[in-house]
Amino acid sequence: MNRIFSPNFKYTHKIVNNLVEIASAREMVLSSYLVPKWEISLRRDALIMAAHASTAIEGNPLTIEEVSQLAQGRKIMAARKAELEVLNYLRVLENIEKYQEQGKITEKIILKLHKDISKEILEKHEYEGRYRELQVYVGNRVTGKVVFMPPPPEDVPKLMTEFIEWINSNNSYQLDPVIVAGVSHYEFVRIHPFIDGNGRTARALATLILYIREFDIKKFFALDDYYDSDRNAYYNALKSVESQNFDLTAWLEYFTDGVLLSISKVKEKVLHLSLEKHKKEAKGQIALTERQTKIVEHIISNGRITSSEFQKMFKISRQAAHKEINKLIELSLIEPKGTGKAIYYVLK
């Protein structure tokens, strides 16, 4: 009987605070009113950013503009391998929901994920979707120094079986999906089950876990961009685990930082879209003041606002708060609900 992999980490204040903020931002994004055109735009942006960042981390030279052109089916001047790396990753992310068997991630699914990511890229095509049978190492491309030595090839099948059993276990399902994605990302990179393409497959696997666990069913969040923005920080966070006796705490702090940054960017886009919609619909409105904009953003984020919240936000008197409220009512942007002391304001 196989031993089930069991991750070692502690919940720090940073991790817990990140998870709370992530949940709040995600709820705001998923509950916002979004017309189909906006949803398509958010999905497309996430897809392009993820494909560009995840391949760039591993040395792909294509720019974000070139990746965008490829995503639109246009031809670009680039090496065939560079194109294929991006196109393969784009196709995998576009169809990420297909990489599961009745909501589970199996060995067959992971092999298929790697096969599709590395299709026609590896020097030997027989290595596509097949566990490595050679010892590999992760090295610094500039200095040639060995950064990390993965387990020997004969250990890979057993380690992957234990890891996959954990992903589908009750213990895993009791954890926050973001924690499961973060643990899985690290453990996959540590095992390094394939000759090449392990980083891209690990990041695609994390995305798949978030989709299956219904965290990102709309495919709005691109985590890869965070890793690419500071590659040294990414590699240092991965390396920190081994130096800390395989304690994943520091890595999960870094990982949840990334998820929070990614989801906050989407939240800002959604707030902006909603604000612009209300601006256009406001009768006779030319422009909102900075204070009025913050008020509307607060209502979009929280669903409502009270007079006392007005006062606290801007450290103003009750009279000044009512003056601002009346201006927004006159602009047909907000309307009162409730009566007496229980009165609050919502977007009209």
Residue 34 pLDDT: 67
Do residues 176 and 321 share a domain? no
Residue 285 pLDDT: 45
d(CA 210, CA 97): 10
Report, as an integer, the average pLDDT of 235-258.
88
Q: How does residue 140 score in pLDDT terms, banded at 50, 70 and 90? A: low
Mean pLDDT (the chain, rounded)? 88
Do residues 288 and 156 share a domain? no
Residue 50: C-alpha distances to residues 60, 86, 141, 241, 283 (Å): 13, 10, 23, 24, 40
Residue 279 pLDDT: 60
pLDDT higher than threshold 70 for residue 210: yes
d(CA 105, CA 257): 25
Do residues 288 and 170 share a domain? no
Report, as an integer, the average pLDDT of 73-97.
93
Total number of domains in the chain? 2
| Residue 157, both tokens | 């099948």
pTM for the whole structure: 0.78
Do residues 170 and 205 share a domain? yes
Tell me, yes or no, whether 8 lies in a domain.
Answer: no
pLDDT higher than threshold 80 for residue 147: no
d(CA 169, CA 151): 24
Report, as an integer, the average pLDDT of 186-215.
94
- Residues 122 and 195: beta-carbon distance below 8 Å: yes
Q: How does residue 224 score in pLDDT terms, banded at 50, 70 and 90? A: confident
Do residues 199 and 248 share a domain? yes
Residue 252 pLDDT: 96
pLDDT higher than threshold 80 for residue 177: yes
Q: How does residue 163 score in pLDDT terms, banded at 50, 70 and 90? A: very high
More confident residue, 5 or 132: 132
Do residues 83 and 142 share a domain? yes
- Residues 253 and 240: beta-carbon distance below 8 Å: no
Q: How does residue 92 score in pLDDT terms, banded at 50, 70 and 90? A: very high
| Residue 56, both tokens | 């760039």
Do residues 331 and 204 share a domain? no
Do residues 126 and 240 share a domain? yes
Tell me, yes or no, whether 274 lies in a domain.
Answer: no
Residue 1 pLDDT: 46
Give me the torsion for CA of 195, 201, 205, 206, rounded to 10°.
110
**Amino acid at residue number 158:** K
Q: Give me the CATH number covering residue 322.
A: 1.10.10.10
For CA atoms 209, 212, 213, 215, the dihedral sign is: positive
**Domain enclosing residue 290, as ranges:** 284-347
Three-point CA angle 53, 58, 62, nearest 5°: 55
Tell me, yes or no, whether 320 lies in a domain.
Answer: yes
Do residues 265 and 288 share a domain? no
Of the residues 240, 269, 298, the one at which a domain ends: 269
CA atoms within 13 A on the CB side of 234: 19
Of the residues 237, 269, 301, the one at which a domain ends: 269
pLDDT higher than threshold 60 for residue 218: yes
Do residues 58 and 136 share a domain? yes
| Residue 255, both tokens | 């990982």
Q: Which residues are catalytic?
A: 192
Do residues 50 and 193 share a domain? yes
Residue 268 pLDDT: 87
Report, as an integer, the average pLDDT of 306-335.
86
Q: Give me the CATH number covering residue 134.
A: 1.10.3290.10
